[in-house]
Amino acid sequence: FQIDTTQESYLDLFPLDAIVYLTPDSENVLEDVDPNKVYILGGLVDESIHKKLTLQRAREQSLQTARLPIREYMVKSLNTKSYHCETLAINQVFDVLSTYYETHSWPAALQAGVSSGKGYVLPD
């Protein structure tokens, strides 16, 4: 993958209607990856989870939001901690998106990026 870095804000580089801010708190499910859209991975450099912080940021910037379709394609697994989390690290979200872009299969993409430690698995 080719990556360009800049100090400029994505708000200055792309039209607002082309930006989709990915956040696990969105009500909108990402159904497809559109090559004409710019996807912002709503990540934080922090060890704790701040509920709705990325959603709030996207709303303040008047951006479209979406979440990965984890609930739509995966099921909660039985585990000793009763732990289930849809919040992924940036590299996991990137793995999901790049695998989906290559395969057009959400099950394959989610399997590539969502570790079993998140408490979700693909149904049998």
State the catalytic residues.
46
Identity at 60, one-letter amino acid code: E
Residue that the structure tokens 């497809």 belong to:
32
CA distance 23 to 87: 8
Residue 8 makes CB contacts below 8 A (sequence gap 6+) with none
Tokens standing for 50?
A: 């701040």
On the 0-12 / 13-18 / 19+ scale of CB atoms within 10 A, 74 is buried
Give the DSSP letter string of 34-59: -TTSEEEE---SSSS--TTHHHHHHH
